[in-house]
Amino acid sequence: EVQLVQSGAEVKKPGESLRISCKGSGYRFTSYWIGWVRQMPGKGLEWMGIVYPGDSDTRYSPSFEGLVTISADKSISTAYLQWNSLKASDTAMYYCARRGGVGTPKYDAFDIWGQGTMVTVSS
């Protein structure tokens, strides 16, 4: 079964660092882009950025560039989303999602989603 499994919910204080993870299984992890999407409480979906685990090529939304770091470790089929200094406004659900296969009609869609990681930042 193709799936993405994310790490568990986190509760952190402002200023703390955090890395959440997204582990792929059931497919060739290095051949598909993995994106990260933020959903603040009661709000819509916001694209944060994307990484290609095969060569670690990474692209960011201008809204999130410099605020987070996206990376991948292909040896363990895992993508990461990292903050160096959290703010209360980072409180949200974060999803990873697999982009469709290169050269396929699904290439510009996200066909597999993780279950989400809830991050709560509060003093």
Partner 1 sequence: DFQMTQSPSTLSASVGDRVTITCRASQSIGSWLAWYQQKAGKAPKLLIYKASTLDSGVPSRFSGSGSGTEFTLTISSLQPDDFATYYCQQYNSYSVTFGGGTKVEIK
By C-alpha distance, which of 100, 93, 78 is closest to 4? Answer: 78
Q: Which of 64, 67, 69, 113 binds partner 1 (CB under 8 A)?
A: 113
Q: CB-based contacts of 86: which residues, under 8 Å, 6+ apart?
A: 12, 13, 14, 15, 16, 17, 18, 119, 121
β-bridge partners, 39: 45, 93
Q: How far is the CB of 113 from partner 1 (least distance, A)?
A: 4
Q: Which of 24, 86, 110, 121 binds partner 1 (CB under 8 A)?
A: 110
Does residue number 109 form part of the binding site for partner 1 (CB under 8 A)?
yes
Q: Which residue number, 83 or 110, has a Cβ lying nearer to partner 1? A: 110
Q: Which of 45, 76, 88, 102 binds partner 1 (CB under 8 A)?
A: 45
CB 18 within 8 A of CB 10: yes
Residues near partner 1 (CB under 8 A) are 35, 37, 44-47, 50, 59, 61, 95, 97, 99-100, 105-111, 113-116
